[in-house]
Amino acid sequence: MCLAIPGKVVKIINPDDALKQAVVDFGGILKEVCIAWVDASVGDYILAHAGMAISVIDENEAQLTIEALKAVDGIELDRY
């Protein structure tokens, strides 16, 4: 199973490069993410997996996903 995390694009680093990068805010943690395969701009929310943006999503969907992830935090799962 893969997990994509929503984040907000705060800065485009190299807009003319073939592998365009952006600084993305993941709840206060800033990371560089490749946005070459999505049409993302500053202020957009993206879903990122393994350092790659895989989709642009609307802010409401991003916030719902963030809240769901926060709800899971701290839940202890049975270990096999």
Structural domains in the chain? Answer: 5-72 (2.30.30.140)
Per-residue pLDDT tens over the stretch 6-43: 999 999 998 888 899 999 999 899 999 999 999 999 99
User: How much is the pLDDT for 69?
Assistant: 84
pTM (predicted TM-score):
0.85
Candidates 20, 41, 77, 28; CA nearest to 5 is 28
Q: Distance (Å, rounded) from C-alpha 65 to C-alpha 11? A: 22
Decide if pLDDT at 46 tops 60: yes
User: For residue 80, what pLDDT band results from cuts at 50, 70 and 90?
Assistant: very low
The amino acid occupying position 37 is: W
Q: Distance (Å, rounded) from C-alpha 56 to C-alpha 41? A: 9
Given a contact cutoff of 8 angstroms between Cβ atoms, the answer to whether 36 and 23 are in contact is no
Structure tokens at 10: 């705060």
